[in-house]
Chain A
């Protein structure tokens, strides 16, 4: 037969006045390990039990400040460092706008963290294996009676003297409380294996569900409806047209805006005769010409028109623009070459507007003059 192990002695009281008077006497009688149980908090009991004030306020303050700081850092990092965007003309780090978010995060972190601290660290909950659980004592103090339990592990504990004590403070009932066998070895730790297993499972389930949702579910019907829209995407087939092409060429004879077809296609002599440079020669035209020449012509023709290409053999070097032939070509002929291309030189009509071409021609003339200057130019 197993001997029952004593947890402590309990005294039941009928009124709040009785229990608080008794609680004060427990302390003054030298008992240290005791507890008072009441269905609701009784005013003045912490003082009667000589309890130190709760430190949870400090925890709340620290958690709150941590939350505030984290939110501040998050908003700063996102808005001023990681992906700065100009929104509403405001500076990247717009502190007044972040105050609502920072405040909410402060409250959230302080509340959650403080409650978790209280429940899991201070109280060491959940704990349904405490010796007082599932006893008649608990049934009484959870409803309409007040109780004091003096633990057997207290130094001054002695069965008869404790009974005497309870009688002296007007307890209406006095009885012992024993450990249940399972409870004896129950020692709730925070890092219990069951809890860790639960955390692991929760982690697996959460990440699995997230992966499934974001990578698989969102691509399934109906969530993918907006991904596949009844509109034509580039290079998509189309059944409307007989040739099946979605992308269409413009109708024969379509001309782009501000575009005039080149009148002298394949006719260099006519271009020579009839095309005249309409632009005046002044500084801004020459600067425009220089700019465009440097961009489009210089890779092959060199910066000074000498044909010293910087393509290093990827493309054959063109003849110099300072040759007798080119110097005597009319502007119209050069315009024709730029527009149509010549030999392996491609057409530059798509890269240069008509005016730009004329400006380049003025610039080329300036270059040519620079290598064939006459004495009269010095004046």
Chain B
């Protein structure tokens, strides 16, 4: 009976040091960001792109995970579903984060400069897509789509806590189904707009899928970090066992492999055909000491997580899961850095307090968002009809 669950679940407030950590990181990060914009606005803009895409991938990816749970009828993830729901709250803040970028567009994008456009026939032919007005319209529409779906899915889920109405599950299943095509389109074109068009002569049909792989990993890993920390400290509910952790670990492992597969496909095809208009993108990431970052990406994003999550026990061990999901989240940031910064600094990679400020801000805002949401709402979807089956789930 679901009332048993409610009795078993005690809503505990997260300790205030969580909030303090989040706010301090945010404030330090924000100060750093402002200073960075003052000191070097172009460098900060490229870092801002990373920040925007990082937070967007966590937010939209979380919506994707929620949608997949509804559509596939999965039960093991139901006790955890609130965590990605809280994480997707970050979407509300994205308009603020994208604003500095919209003011800096002229500096970031080559295809905006009229002198470059005049001389470049190829860029002129892309102008129907790569122009300021359409670009901004796309940004706004995508943000609207994400926020609207977030609000609908979240409202239904939290309303169910009170009313225990199973038709809300049915509604969310329908909205999840509707969300998926929008998800595919918005994720693809977000990646194309913000990352692929930084090098406007270059193109790759798999680029949207590449960003998608990173998105799912970002959402999964950040959810796993929160889930493991909350569960091990007793904030979730009794009865969640290794079997639940195993599924998280298995999904992380699967998507690490998927990312590697997509990355390798893209590389192999471009390497093999050796067409200069395509290889230039990889050559830029081999200039100077960028080659170390590129080789490093393979190890950080694939080799280490692969062997770290290969064995069955490793997927069920909370300590290992916590470490590997933190590592994977860091690897995703590394990936975005590798995609964006070589357009700013051609010969060598740069890493300094500018980059670190953005990272601190990202971590801070995520922690703060989880804290705030957990104060207002339950950490478990107590009204979900599948909750009991979820807690009883065994492999």
Contacts and interface: CB of A to CB of B under 8 A. Distances in A.
Any A–B CB pair closer than 8 Å: yes
Interface of A: 43, 57, 61, 88-89, 96-97, 99
Interface string B289-320: 00000000000000000000011100000000
Interface in B255-296: 264, 267-268, 271-272, 274
A99 B274 contact: no
A99 B272 contact: no
A57 B311 CA distance: 8
Contact of A57 (B271, B272, B312): B312
Contacts of B312: 57
Contacts of A96: 267-268, 271-272
Contacts of B310: 61
A296 B103 CA distance: 80
A20 to B, nearest CB: 14
A99 B264 contact: yes
Contacts of A57: 311-312
Given A96-B268, A97-B268, A97-B272, 12 more contacts: A43-B394, A57-B311, A57-B312, A61-B310, A88-B272, A88-B274, A89-B274, A96-B267, A96-B271, A96-B272, A99-B264, A99-B268
15 contacts: A43-B394, A57-B311, A57-B312, A61-B310, A88-B272, A88-B274, A89-B274, A96-B267, A96-B268, A96-B271, A96-B272, A97-B268, A97-B272, A99-B264, A99-B268
Chain B interface, DSSP helix/strand/loop, else mixed: helix
Interface residues on B, range: 10 to 19
4 shortest A-B CB distances, which residue pairs? A96-B268, A96-B271, A57-B311, A96-B267
A99 B271 CA distance: 13
Point out which of A61, A89, A96, A97 has the most chain B C-beta atoms below 10 A from its C-beta: A96
A227 B272 CA distance: 36
B180 to A, nearest CB: 31
Nearest to A43: B394
Contacts of A97: 268, 272
Nearest to A89: B274
A57 B268 CA distance: 31
Contacts of A61: 310
Contacts of A99: 264, 268
B297 to A, nearest CB: 15
Contacts of B264: 99
A104 B82 CA distance: 41
Nearest to A61: B310
A95 to B, nearest CB: 10
Interface string B131-158: 0000000000000000000000000000
A59 B210 CA distance: 33
B312 to A, nearest CB: 7
Nearest to B267: A96
Interface in B380-395: 394
A58 B283 CA distance: 39
Nearest to B394: A43
Nearest to A100: B268
A217 to B, nearest CB: 38
Contacts of B271: 96
A88 B274 CA distance: 9
Nearest to B273: A88
A97 B272 CA distance: 8
Contacts of B268: 96-97, 99
A43 B394 CA distance: 10
Contacts of B274: 88-89
A89 B311 CA distance: 41
A69 to B, nearest CB: 16
A61 B307 CA distance: 11
B393 to A, nearest CB: 13
A89 B312 CA distance: 44
A212 B268 CA distance: 42
Nearest to B313: A53
